[in-house]
């Protein structure tokens, strides 16, 4: 073999360097950051390490742990507690699992890509993984931007074996960058080496549509969704198409409803959107044939009560509201709500009435407690919903009973920390909650009817107090904006009370100036029937002749 002279070695070295440079140049350009959303979570790693759980610390005895690995769509913000009005779906995931069999740890962190999570956070997570554990991985939202500057978090597009040696401009740190698929493979290999099980997920959908007139949510099934699926098949691990499952739901909701699935931008979900994505992930796990992880899920709870009065496919009239709609409703001398007596005016051969109201609730707390979800899930095309809130909606927002809302009918919202629970909540206007009920009902093919709230027995100068400048006005506006029928119950009943006179009005109330007696409940029900007839609402066709 001929021995190279010194200058020959130099030529070979130069050729090798040239080949390397050419190879580097052939690496695909990084994905463009089209989202333009700034998330600085990753920039505060010291705080991050104290906010996220120590990997494996939730383990109960010898039970397995489900580790969630992802970005801000799984855990938004450093603390992940919704203090910015945004929630990741990992916040709710544990609610679907039997904690006596498995615990769920949300190890995700906003701002991370497959590359930055693997390099900076994965080593600590890996320490807590034991044989039999599960690791669900959903990354890709942030695998964009420059390879070697700024946040330097881009992975090379695709699933190939390409690599790129870079020096981060701001720090001088040298790093080898791999493809998105290669990072996914490395996660999987590390998990398997621990004797645990890996699952890959496609990304959560954004509030992005194919075009301005489209009803189709833009998918990622040609990039990260496709690549995650290809790697899962290659490595023989389950793949949950979270993007597709949630996108189908969003398309059914429509653009207006999808708007409030997100908060502040088109990527990060509100608590509404986070719950949808959590349910989609669970749906994917439950329906994946032969997936052992599904055995750790809680059984699906079925509501067998709401809507159970339906006869032969006939419609149901649901009533929702506060104590003036449903109270004790048992003692003839006690307090009554009109929702418990209004059924007498309808032909039960054609329609049934279900009073789903609850005393003490505002529109906000009725929604937050899941009461509206039960009605929403029971609704069928042709049903009707009578909606009356307002008596409890003007109280404290984040202290005491914490049931108040922002005043008005606009789209304003504000993040509050609840004094009692220390949890954060985005609170909207009174009208916003009514419009949500309207939109949800119409989405299911039901007919919503908004009512101004019943009058109180409060008088001034011979006239009973009205709500025409506040909740009555906002209810009317919400109905108009949402495309619902409106009955001014406050006015109709107040006119009747004024005709009776202040001295006689007390018999229509019980206990105080708000809660109705049986006589008052019947009067309010009659006022609603008058409104149904006067406003030519289709519900009139189901009244007794």
Q: Which CATH number belongs to the domain containing residue 470 in this structure?
A: 3.40.50.1110
Are 74 and 193 contained in the same domain?
yes
Give the pLDDT score at 49: 59
Q: Is the pLDDT of residue 18 over 90?
A: no
Q: What pLDDT, in 10s, does the model give residues 142-151?
A: 999 999 998 8
Are 266 and 394 contained in the same domain?
no
On whether residue 2 sits in a domain, the answer given is: no
Do 523 and 457 contact (CB within 8 A), yes or no? no
Give the pLDDT score at 20: 40
Question: What is the three-class DSSP state of 495?
Answer: helix
Q: Are strands 316-321 and 352-355 parallel, antiparallel or unpaired?
A: parallel
Are 263 and 394 contained in the same domain?
no
Confidence label for 50 from pLDDT (cuts 50, 70 and 90): low
Are 327 and 240 contained in the same domain?
no
Do 306 and 375 contact (CB within 8 A), yes or no? yes
Pairwise CA distance, residues 309 & 353, whole Å = 8
Distances (CA, A) of 188 to 90, 199, 341, 399: 20, 8, 61, 46
Which tokens is 69 given? 């690995």
Polymer length in residues for the chain: 545
Pairwise CA distance, residues 496 & 274, whole Å = 47
Pairwise CA distance, residues 42 & 55, whole Å = 18
Please give the residue that has the higher pLDDT: either 358 or 77.
358
In degrees and rounded to multiples of 5, residue 392 shows phi and psi of -110, 10
Do 423 and 417 contact (CB within 8 A), yes or no? yes
Helix axes 430-443, 471-482, angle to 10 degrees: 30
Residues in a beta bridge with 385: 318, 448
Are 321 and 283 contained in the same domain?
no
Are 537 and 403 contained in the same domain?
yes
Do 489 and 521 contact (CB within 8 A), yes or no? no
Are 325 and 244 contained in the same domain?
no
| Percentage of residues in the chain having pLDDT higher than 70 | 92
Q: Is 80 exposed, middle or buried (0-12, 13-18, 19+ CB in 10 A)?
A: buried
* Domain end position, chosen among 242, 260, 292: 292
Q: pTM of this prediction?
A: 0.91
On whether residue 73 sits in a domain, the answer given is: yes
Pairwise CA distance, residues 124 & 7, whole Å = 48
Pairwise CA distance, residues 355 & 353, whole Å = 7
Pairwise CA distance, residues 432 & 196, whole Å = 46
CA 140 to mean position of chain CA atoms: 21
On whether residue 407 sits in a domain, the answer given is: yes
Which tokens is 157 given? 């597009």
Give the pLDDT score at 394: 96
Q: Is 38 exposed, middle or buried (0-12, 13-18, 19+ CB in 10 A)?
A: exposed
On whether residue 519 sits in a domain, the answer given is: yes
Are 352 and 475 contained in the same domain?
yes
On whether residue 18 sits in a domain, the answer given is: no
Are 101 and 48 contained in the same domain?
yes
Q: Is the pLDDT of residue 461 over 70?
A: yes
Which tokens is 346 given? 């309808």
Do 539 and 529 contact (CB within 8 A), yes or no? no
On whether residue 7 sits in a domain, the answer given is: no
Are 396 and 280 contained in the same domain?
no
Q: What pLDDT, in 10s, does the model give residues 344-375?
A: 999 999 999 999 999 999 999 999 999 999 99
Are 285 and 370 contained in the same domain?
no
DSSP 144: B
On whether residue 24 sits in a domain, the answer given is: no
Do 223 and 31 contact (CB within 8 A), yes or no? yes
Q: Is the pLDDT of residue 13 over 90?
A: no
Are 267 and 327 contained in the same domain?
no
Q: What is the mean pLDDT of the chain?
A: 92
Do 51 and 80 contact (CB within 8 A), yes or no? yes
On whether residue 236 sits in a domain, the answer given is: yes
Q: Are strands 65-70 and 463-464 parallel, antiparallel or unpaired?
A: unpaired
Do 334 and 321 contact (CB within 8 A), yes or no? no
Which strand (E) or helix (H) includes residue 259? helix 255-259
* Domain end position, chosen among 242, 277, 292: 292
Its domain, for residue 402, covers: 316-542
Domain count, the chain: 2
Q: What pLDDT, in 10s, does the model give residues 401-432?
A: 999 999 999 999 999 999 999 999 999 999 99
């Amino acid at each position: 073999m001929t021995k190279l002279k010194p200058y020959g070695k130099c030529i070979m070295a130069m050729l090798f360097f040239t080949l390397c440079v050419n190879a580097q140049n052939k690496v695909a350009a990084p994905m463009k950051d089209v989202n333009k959303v700034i998330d600085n979570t990753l920039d505060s790693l010291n705080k991050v390490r104290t906010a996220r759980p120590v990997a494996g610390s939730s383990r109960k005895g010898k039970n397995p742990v489900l580790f969630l690995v992802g970005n801000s769509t799984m855990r938004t913000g450093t603390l992940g507690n919704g203090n910015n009005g945004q929630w990741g779906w990992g916040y709710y995931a544990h609610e679907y699992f039997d904690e006596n069999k498995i615990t769920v740890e949300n190890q995700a962190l906003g701002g991370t890509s497959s590359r930055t999570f693997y390099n900076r956070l994965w080593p600590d997570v890996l320490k807590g993984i034991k044989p039999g554990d599960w690791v669900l991985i959903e990354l890709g939202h942030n695998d964009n931007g420059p390879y070697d500057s700024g946040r330097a978090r881009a992975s090379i597009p695709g699933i190939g074996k390409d690599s790129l040696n870079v020096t981060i401009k701001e720090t001088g740190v040298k790093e080898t960058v791999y493809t998105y698929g290669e990072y996914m493979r490395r996660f999987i290999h590390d998990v398997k080496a621990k004797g645990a099980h890996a699952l890959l997920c496609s990304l959560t959908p954004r509030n992005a549509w194919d075009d301005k007139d489209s009803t189709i949510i833009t998918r990622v099934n040609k990039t990260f969704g496709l690549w995650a699926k290809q790697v899962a098949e290659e490595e023989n691990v389950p793949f949950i198409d979270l993007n597709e499952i949630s996108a189908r739901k969003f398309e059914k909701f429509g653009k207006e409803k999808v708007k409030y699935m997100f908060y502040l931008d088109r990527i990060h979900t509100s608590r509404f959107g986070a719950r949808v994505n959590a349910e989609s992930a669970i749906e994917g796990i439950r329906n994946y044939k032969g997936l052992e992880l599904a055995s750790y899920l809680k059984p699906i709870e079925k509501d067998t009560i709401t809507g159970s009065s339906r006869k032969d496919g006939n419609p149901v009239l649901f009533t929702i509201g506060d104590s003036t709609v449903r109270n004790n409703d048992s003692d003839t001398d006690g307090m009554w709500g009109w929702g418990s007596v209004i059924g007498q005016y309808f032909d039960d051969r054609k329609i049934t009435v279900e009073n789903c109201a609850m005393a003490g609730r505002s529109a906000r707390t009725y929604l937050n407690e899941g009461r509206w979800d039960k009605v929403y899930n029971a609704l069928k095309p042709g049903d009707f919903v009578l909606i009356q809130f307002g008596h409890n909606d003007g109280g404290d927002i984040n202290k005491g009973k914490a049931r108040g809302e922002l005043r008005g009918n606009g789209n304003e919202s504000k993040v509050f920390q609840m004094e009692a629970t220390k949890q954060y909540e985005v609170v909207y206007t009174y009208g916003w909650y009514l419009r949500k009920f309207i939109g949800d009902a119409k989405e299911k093919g039901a007919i919503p009817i908004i009512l101004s709230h019943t009058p109180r027995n409060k008088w001034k100068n011979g006239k009973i107090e009205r709500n025409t400048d506040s909740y009555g006005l906002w209810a009317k506006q919400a109905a108009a904006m949402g495309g619902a029928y409106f009955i001014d119950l406050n006015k109709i009943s107040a006119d009747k009370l004024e005709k009776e006179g202040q001295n006689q009005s007390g018999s229509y109330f019980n206990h105080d100036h708000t809660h109705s007696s049986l006589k008052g409940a019947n009067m309010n029900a009659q006022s609603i029937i008058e409104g149904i007839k006067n406003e030519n609402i289709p519900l009139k066709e189901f009244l007794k002749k």
